[in-house]
């Protein structure tokens, strides 16, 4: 049951990566189709993560009454159909409705997927969270490649989106039969208090992890929104070469996450997070000081290797620590709250770098996310397991980053 649950959830992560990449990489085509002005475009772009935050908060409340698997089963089709609505609409009002549906459903989807990922990791008794996010990265690469093909062949948006939806939607619905809630179990404390509330109590410890999540997405949005412009305008690359850094970043993110679970089991979550923060900071430093385009691409490569471990590691740490707190449903509540801060980071990152670049310099602007990502080092201990569960300062190989499960309380 757990293997099928893991495979079906991994497919959901992949499908979400495909859908999100198809949306964000075709923004110029969407703007042209609907005649969205440059002044109005930022409003539409900001509305999606804001509504996603609303959807994540609502999911945190909803899963007190229904299992996360049911939320995921309902929200993923909405995301895919909303994507098709963006491609098939004709009027600005239709675009607004489709993007609103996409944003709200993405928030519910992201929160519920990570809830299920955290609970499955606890059931497995070892780190598997990074593998789910590796599937998301693979989906992003597939989606970006499909978007490139659509743009290259000058296909209408709905022509690009329809085959993807026709493949992913039924596959996701079939796979949803094997989702596993709470890893198939609850702790004795959760069982006893399931009717008594308290799932959101005592989550002050979550604040450092929320900060790390925000910083990680500030870094990620900096790469996704500014890498091409930086390489072309600051480092003097060709337009064609300027498209390479983000693809390199996505590939190294995929590779880093594919290998990340093994690293967590071997060295512990704290060491992996610290190493990721240092590598990411080095990447920003290389980008800021790069004398030319090829050195700049080396910096973006380092960013992919470093940043890739922070987000899944943060979700895993939040779920584990919430489970250890003994509050019923605290793990789901913690994941839902934490998920909001990925949208906060996304909203902050791109405008921050743009404003600093215009007012100061884009080289100098790259130093700001570098400093911010180093803040992760201060809070790295938040990723550690409780000292009464593990010895020697590191997680045991078969319980890395997850706690012991219901028998360990």
Count, residues in the chain:
409
Which has the closest alpha carbon to 323: 259, 407, 215? Answer: 407
164 & 206 share domain: no
pLDDT tens across the length of the chain (409 residues): 899 999 999 999 999 999 999 998 888 899 899 999 988 988 998 999 999 999 999 999 999 999 999 999 999 999 999 999 999 999 999 999 999 999 999 999 999 999 999 999 999 999 999 999 999 999 999 998 898 889 889 899 999 999 999 999 999 999 999 999 875 444 443 444 444 445 555 678 899 999 999 999 999 999 988 998 899 999 999 877 887 888 899 999 999 999 999 999 999 999 999 999 999 999 999 999 999 999 999 999 999 999 999 999 999 999 998 888 766 578 999 999 999 999 999 999 989 999 999 999 999 999 999 999 999 999 999 998 765 443 333 344 444 444 333 333 3
270 & 381 share domain: yes
Q: What residue numbers bound the domain in which 220 lies?
A: 195-395
Task: Give the CATH number, domain containing residue 14.
Answer: 1.20.1250.20
Among 185, 205, 225, give the residue marking a domain's end: 185
Three-class SS state of 24: helix
277 & 338 share domain: yes
44 & 68 share domain: yes
Residue 409 lies in a domain: no
Q: How many helices (H) and strands (E) does the chain have?
A: 16, 0
219 & 171 share domain: no
Q: What is the 3 state secondary structure string of 192-231?
A: HHCCCCCCCCCCHHHHHHHHHHHHHHHHHHHHHHHHHHHH
Neighbours of 39 (CB within 10 A): 7
3 & 86 share domain: yes
Among 128, 157, 185, give the residue marking a domain's end: 185
Number of domains making up the chain = 2
Residue 404 lies in a domain: no
Residue 408 lies in a domain: no
259 & 114 share domain: no
245 & 390 share domain: yes
Among 133, 156, 185, give the residue marking a domain's end: 185
Q: Output the pTM of the full model.
A: 0.88
278 & 150 share domain: no
């Amino acid at each position: 049951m757990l293997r099928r649950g893991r495979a079906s959830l991994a497919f959901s992560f992949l499908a979400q990566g495909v859908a999100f990449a198809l949306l964000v990489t075709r923004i110029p085509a969407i703007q042209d189709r609907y005649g969205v002005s440059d002044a109005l475009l930022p409003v539409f772009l900001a509305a999606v993560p804001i509504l996603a935050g609303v959807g994540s908060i609502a999911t945190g409340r909803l899963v007190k009454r229904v299992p996360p698997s049911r939320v995921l089963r309902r929200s993923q089709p909405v995301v895919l159909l909303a994507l098709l609505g963006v491609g098939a609409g004709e009027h600005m009002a239709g675009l607004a409705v489709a993007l609103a549906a996409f944003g709200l459903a993405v928030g519910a989807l992201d929160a519920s997927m990570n809830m299920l990922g955290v609970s499955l990791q606890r059931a497995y008794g070892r780190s598997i969270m990074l593998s789910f996010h590796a599937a998301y990265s693979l989906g992003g690469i597939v989606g970006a490649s499909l978007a490139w093909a659509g743009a290259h062949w000058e296909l209408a948006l709905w022509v690009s989106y329809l085959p993807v939806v026709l493949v992913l939607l039924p596959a996701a619905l079939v796979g949803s039969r094997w989702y596993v809630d709470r890893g198939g179990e609850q702790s004795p404390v959760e069982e006893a208090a399931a009717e008594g509330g308290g799932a959101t109590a005592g989550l002050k410890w979550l604040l450092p992890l929320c900060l790390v999540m925000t910083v990680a997405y500030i870094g990620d949005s900096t790469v996704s929104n500014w890498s091409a412009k930086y390489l072309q305008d600051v480092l003097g690359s060709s337009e064609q070469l300027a498209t390479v850094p983000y693809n390199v970043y996505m590939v190294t993110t995929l590779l880093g996450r594919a290998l990340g679970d093994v690293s967590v089991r071997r060295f512990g979550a704290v060491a992996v997070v610290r190493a990721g923060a240092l590598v990411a900071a080095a990447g920003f430093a290389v980008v800021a000081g790069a004398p030319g385009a090829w050195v700049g691409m080396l910096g973006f490569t380092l960013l992919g290797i470093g940043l890739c471990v922070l987000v899944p590691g943060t979700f895993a740490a939040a779920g584990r620590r919430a489970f250890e707190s003994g509050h019923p449903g605290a793990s789901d509540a913690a994941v839902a709250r934490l998920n909001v801060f990925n949208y906060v980071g996304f909203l902050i990152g791109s405008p921050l770098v743009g404003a600093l670049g215009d007012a100061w310099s884009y080289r100098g602007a790259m130093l700001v996310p570098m400093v911010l990502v180093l803040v992760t080092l201060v809070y790295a201990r938040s990723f550690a397991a409780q000292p009464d569960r593990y010895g020697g300062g590191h997680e045991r190989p078969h319980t890395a980053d997850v706690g012991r499960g219901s028998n360990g309380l």
